[in-house]
Amino acid sequence: MNTLQSISYPIHFNNIAAELNKFIKQGNYSHFFILTDEHTVKHCLPLIQEGLDQKDNFDIIEINAGEESKSIDFCVGIWKMLIDFGADRNSLLINLGGGVITDLGGFAASTYKRGIDFVHIPTTLLSQVDASVGGKNGIDIFNLKNIIGTFTQPKAVFIEHRFLQTLPERQVKSGLAEMLKHGLIADAAYWEKLKHSNPENLDAELIYDSIAIKNKVVIADPTERGLRKILNFGHTIGHAIESYSLNNDENPLTHGEAVVAGMICETYLSHKKAGLSLTAMEEIINTLLGIYGKYPLKESTFTQLNDIMRKDKKNLGGNINCSLLSNIGESKIDNICTDAELVESLKFYASLEYAQA
């Protein structure tokens, strides 16, 4: 469990300080920058800095934590700092943070002077198992998530298990949602193992296995022409619920919580349209509700949610496409879902009986 090879770069799991030092030395960079936010600069940078050979020989670019920073304004701020610090094409950007930092930093670096090298040191479970692998980067605009961005692979990814101790449980569970998704779409044995795991003490091996599942998919289809779409299971509806919640709830859902709600709706559609058995559907829904509880989805929001789905960047030819499950561990891409079916799945979710423990 040391290193996984991805499309064109390594994902390191152990001795990350030594690997990072080796990487910086070999790259012969003129200048390096660390992109952080107010949390990672405090809790994670010291852990990285203590192992760096060049302890003080870098500039820090700090942004505010939170999804609001994944905007063109913050991207302009990063470009400006790179210009002000005199970053040339031989500079390196180290993205130290969660998905906002890796997505925004990856986008800023891939466009600055037509692209400079960047690496990710993901600090949340969600970014370790999802955002940091596969080369997707981007920003949100006009309330649409990730609508502007590129596929540009990092030069390396470094996974530090110790960072998880700095996270609140709700953030760990947000990442766990993507791990559960990886089991559901591609590996029934992994799902079986994971559904009995303890989110407060997640084994490093389970994280490695989750990244290995995603990695296999993105190697087979780096730019999401086919197979990679299976990673979108739960996300067509989940992203709509997430956008809605961000704009309307005082305490918005995390990405993982929204994806879980989306996975439950899309599990229902999988049963209706993709051959998923009733027993499997019930097992999935009971497991997810048991871990995450239920979001109080109101019928009055269904039209608005459906409108958000209509603007999803994954739609093709005016059709809303979902990736659905045909079994636990098996999935099917390109299932066209009508507005009526999507709304029916939201109704199904809203009608689920769930007693909060």
Which residues contact ligand GLY by CB under 6 A? 130, 134, 136, 228, 231
Minimum CB distance to ligand GLY smaller for 160 or for 224: 224
Active site residue 120: no
Rounded distance between C-alpha atoms, residue 308 and residue 196, angstroms: 34
Active site residue 182: no
Minimum CB separation from ligand GLY for residue 120, in Å?
13
Active site residue 173: no
Query: Encoding tokens for residue 160?
Result: 């530090």
Q: Nearest-CB residue to ligand GLY?
A: 231
Minimum CB separation from ligand GLY for residue 211, in Å?
11
Active site residue 232: yes
Minimum CB separation from ligand GLY for residue 291, in Å?
20
CB 206 within 8 A of CB 175: no
Q: Which residues of 246-263 are buried (b: 16+ CB within 10 A; e: fewer)?
A: beeeeebbbbbbbbbbbb
Minimum CB separation from ligand GLY for residue 131, in Å?
7
Tokens 């229902």 locate to 268
Active site residue 170: no
Active site residue 311: no
Query: Encoding tokens for residue 120?
Result: 């990710």
Beta pairing, strands 320-327 & 330-337: antiparallel
Q: What single-letter amino acid sits at 268?
A: Y
CB 174 within 8 A of CB 146: no
Minimum CB distance to ligand GLY smaller for 34 or for 184: 184
- Which residue among the candidates 178, 242, 257, 266 is catalytic per the annotation? 178
Active site residue 353: no
Minimum CB distance to ligand GLY smaller for 130 or for 187: 130
Minimum CB distance to ligand GLY smaller for 155 or for 272: 155
Minimum CB separation from ligand GLY for residue 232, in Å?
6
- Which residue among the candidates 137, 232, 321, 335 is catalytic per the annotation? 232
Render 122-147 in DSSP notation, one character per residue.
Answer: E-SHHIIIIITSS-B--EEETTEEEE
Question: In this structure, is the dihedral angle defined by the CA atoms of residues 248, 249, 255 and 257, taken in order, positive or negative?
Answer: negative
Minimum CB distance to ligand GLY smaller for 233 or for 302: 233
- Which residue among the candidates 12, 228, 271, 332 is catalytic per the annotation? 228
Query: Encoding tokens for residue 227?
Result: 């197979």
**Phi and psi of 234, rounded to 5°?**
85, -10
Residues sharing a CB contact under 8 Å with residue 18, sequence separation 6 or more, in sequence order = 51
Number of continuous H segments (helices) and E segments (strands) in the chain: 14, 11
Query: Encoding tokens for residue 300?
Result: 């009055």
- Which residue among the candidates 224, 242, 257, 266 is catalytic per the annotation? 224
Minimum CB distance to ligand GLY smaller for 91 or for 127: 127
Tokens 């995603």 locate to 214
- Which residue among the candidates 181, 182, 214, 271 is catalytic per the annotation? 214
CB 65 within 8 A of CB 38: yes
Beta pairing, strands 91-97 & 117-122: parallel
Minimum CB distance to ligand GLY smaller for 89 or for 313: 313
Active site residue 310: no
Active site residue 136: yes
Minimum CB separation from ligand GLY for residue 151, in Å?
9
Minimum CB separation from ligand GLY for residue 136, in Å?
5
- Which residue among the candidates 55, 114, 196, 225 is catalytic per the annotation? 114
Active site residue 255: yes
Q: Which residues are catalytically annotated? A: 114, 136, 178, 214, 224, 228, 232, 235, 239, 255
